Chain A
Amino acid sequence: MKPSLVNRMDIWARHLVPFGLTLCLLLVNVTPTRIPGFAGVAPMLPMMAVFYWAIFRPDLLPAWVAFVIGLLFDVVSGTPLGVNALVLLLVQGVTSAQRRFFLGNTFVVAWWGFGMIAAGASTLAWMLVSLLIDGRIAFRAVLFEYLLTVSLYPVVAWVLARTQVMLLRQA
């Protein structure tokens, strides 16, 4: 039996969830938190979402969507255009290429994998930005940002996993 229009629209809406959530995380990322010292090392929330969906639903957040989110992140956060687009594109590419490995392993392995990939991503972003603005950015802030990103990954991954179970189990 062919699914009804409502049914199809429902599935279509559910399929937008990964993109929508990643977009939300991007906006939350640039919201002022009023926490002392936090803004300079704000964790890369969109990167966590891109990593997560590249493992669990790469069909719903493909490489080009990661690229678009990265581009949007560049525009909103004021980093040189193209830097986060490239970084998130590569995160998506590398992660989805290794997704079988991550799917077959425990959460701790995925976390460790995120640590490795985020390290590469942070270093790349640091090099690109330093190159593009003709000045060396202090590595310390990038390091703190990286550590915060990695340590917050379980929280964000938990939220994303709950959402996936709730909204995308059958879709």
Chain B
Amino acid sequence: MGRLVVLRQMAHRFAFVGMVAFAFGLMLLGKADTLLVERARVAVTDAVTPILDVLSRPASVIAEVVENVRELAQLRAENGRLKAENEKLQHWQTVARRLEAENRVLRGQLNFVADPDSAFITARVVGDTGGAFVHSMLISAGSRDGVRKGQAVLAGEMLVGRIAEVGQRSSRILLLTDINSRIPVVVETSRAKAILGGDNNDRPKLHYLSTSPPLSPGDRIVTSGHGGAFPAGMAVGVVAAVTEGGVRVEPFVNRHELEYVTVVDYGLSGVLPSDREAARRKGGE
């Protein structure tokens, strides 16, 4: 009897050590970045997404109710503010119309090739994942809806991030605050180029910034379109702080406010080859 107990204990210990080794094996496998790991991930995410879709609804309903109450309380002040803003915007509209007409004429004279038209896919955010380690979100649209890897994700007109993984009916967005996110940007006014790199902080940092002229808080940062990943001119954020340690950018999009996002297909292949293209290339070989 005693021997059996000892044997069983040994088996337990062996199984435990085996699982620890297996976990390290998985880490190495993931590091090697095989297609297999991504496929497995995507398959599981696809299976979980419908559950998350249901789970995420109560939270958004509560958030909506709270928002409604707050809006009611501030209705008067909000109305005044909106009236003032409307006046300002109407002025801008006039300016924009004039510029648009002027632009059209000038483009016609120059034979300018316009950017390709874009297609939109709107999807619900069903998962906000990762805690301190990963800044990503799951959305309820996948390859069957036309989502492809590397596409830009917007909320309104503001950049949220890009598509990192695509399943059948779910996809993962890599937020621009994630440590793996690198986005080519320019300062809107001075056209100084930089790379916006996340570090899992709420405010990503500008890297490789051409220093002159100096930046100041409040400067708008937009995508530059370099590398072909995103089209140029998408709003990203404003400069929040300029310190010795670098320039931090406050994104326009707040992660907690996202309920619906728009995945945009600009027809650009981007730095990440899309699945379709990879397949085509493979077929061509």
Bound-state CA distance A82–B131 (Å) is 16
The answer to whether A128 and B27 touch across the interface, beta carbons within 8 angstroms, is yes
Residues from chain A with a CB closer than 8 A to the CB of B24 are: 82, 86
The CA-CA distance from A129 to B37 in the complex, in Å, is 17
In this complex, the member of B55, B131, B180 whose beta carbon has the largest number of chain A beta carbons within 10 angstroms is: B131
Chain B residues within 8 Å of A, Cβ to Cβ: 15-16, 19-20, 22-27, 29-31, 37, 40-41, 44-45, 48, 51-52, 55-56, 59-60, 62-63, 125-138, 172, 179-180, 199-202, 254-259
| Interface SS, B side | helix
Known: A75-B41, A76-B48, A81-B30. A32 touches B56 (CB 8 A): yes
Measured CB to CB, the closest approach of chain B to A98, in angstroms, equals: 15
A41 contacts the other chain (Cβ, under 8 Å)? Answer: yes
A145 touches B132 (CB 8 A): yes
- Residue of B60, B132, B179, B255 touching A142 (CB-CB under 8 A): B132
Nearest CB in chain B to that of A71: its residue: B26
Contact, CB under 8 Å: B128 / A39? yes
Quote the shortest CB–CB distance from B245 to chain A (angstroms): 12
How many A-B residue pairs lie within 8 Å, measured between CB atoms?
161
4 new A-B pairs (CB below 8 Å) besides A39-B256, A77-B131, A126-B132? A32-B60, A40-B202, A78-B136, A86-B27
Which residues of chain A (115-170) have a CB below 8 Å from chain B? 125-126, 128-129, 132-133, 135, 137-138, 141-142, 144-145
User: Please, which residues of chain A bring their CB within 8 A of the CB of B132?
Assistant: 40-41, 126, 137-138, 141-142, 144-145
Selected contact of A40 from candidates B29, B31, B131, CB within 8 Å: B131
